[in-house]
Amino acid sequence: MLNIALFGPPGAGKGTQSEYLIKKYNLFYLSTGDLLRKEIAEKTPLGLEAQSIISAGGLVSDEIIVQIIENTITDHPEANGFLFDGFPRTYVQAYILEGLMLKLNTSLTCLISIDLPEEVCVQRLLNRGKTSGRSDDNETVIRNRLREYTEKTLPVLQFYKEKGVCFEVNGLADIAQVTQQIDTIVTAEVAKQPLNILLFGYPGSGRDSQGKALSERFGLEFISTNEMLETEIRNETPIGKKIVHLYENGLLVSDDIVVQLIERRISDAKNAKGFIFKGFPRTLVQSYILDGLLRKRGTTISMAFELEVPVLDLINRLDERSKTEHSMAYDTSTARIVKRLKEHESKTLPVIARYAQRHGVTKVNGLGTFEEIFERLSSEIENGIKNLR
């Protein structure tokens, strides 16, 4: 999860830079100013209380801010990350944000501070006041706000400097240059984030062999439900015996079995740079479970791919596989193969649709030699990494 706090005095241009970050990194925008104005416009009790404080050029109390921020965060559990604009403004709020991030099993990725001299801020806000119609855009209020910022907000910088996640940019540069400075910072932080890839495709599409090769190329951990399940079968564990029964009937292994194996595998890979998931999630329920497991580690899905292979080719591949040591239980007859393909269609295609809506799923031609398919996938991953960074 990518969580960014954009910091700077009034008039520093945080709104403009926020638009760029939201669009590029698909973040949920969380602006205390916007949220407060919404409360004020709706004349809620919080809004009325905030109005009197803002009109005098003061900062709204932590009690008001906390309620609005927490409600907004908890109302959007599906978010891939948050962009905080105007929060935290005080040392106390910095601790509050730490608590809110802990609630999400994540942390603040970085705080970016746009530095700008006071007189430049004043002039920018006075110019804005000529067209904005905002009552707080007059010199007396502006200087009060800047004084509040200096006295109460700047100490927050030290809080995050001690954590090593505070970065400063020159706000005197033109907009494009400020954006470039910010982009360089975020790119470096994103590079530290785990790379989590979903590899979809019908049984027989080549996910296993491609996933293993890709994990080696990109230094990721390969997680295959089949491998874990086969280990249970080979060791003749109680779980393994249940799995054999399900396989023989062409059914998917139940979530309670798969999830505990996946969670154990993720937990064991403490220093992993990321994961390639093959065979999981297979159902909508499992997709929500995986999102939760990754969120617990403060991360999320980075990209997803689907290997496309015509049905007749799939059947031929699975039939050929049934004659090798890699044969699966459902490979033993055409009827079972067809049943397994239908199972994928009814249960896994909705999962692909869900990720396509949230993250985008890139379709990759699964026909050709192993090397040709591998290069297609590798190229798509490399392009995806560039887009993320």
Q: Residues within the annotated binding site for AMP?
A: 32, 37, 58-60, 86-89, 93, 134, 145, 225, 251-253, 279-282, 286, 340
The residue assigned the tokens 């008039």 is 11
Do the beta carbons of residue 252 and residue 283 sit within 8 Å? yes
Distance CA 73, CA 25 (A): 17
Cis peptide before 350 (omega within 30 of 0): no
**DSSP assignment of 94-106, as one string?**
HHHHHHHHHHTT-
Distance CA 68, CA 139 (A): 28
The residue assigned the tokens 């400020």 is 178
3-class secondary structure, 107:
coil
Residue list, annotated binding site:
11-16, 32, 37, 58-60, 86-89, 93, 128, 134, 145, 173, 225, 251-253, 279-282, 286, 321, 340, 368
Q: Quick one: which of 298, 282, 288, 277 has its CA closest to 197?
A: 277
Residue list, annotated binding site for ATP:
11-16, 128, 173, 321, 368
Strand arrangement, sheet containing 303-308: 221-224, 274-278, 195-201, 303-308, 361-365
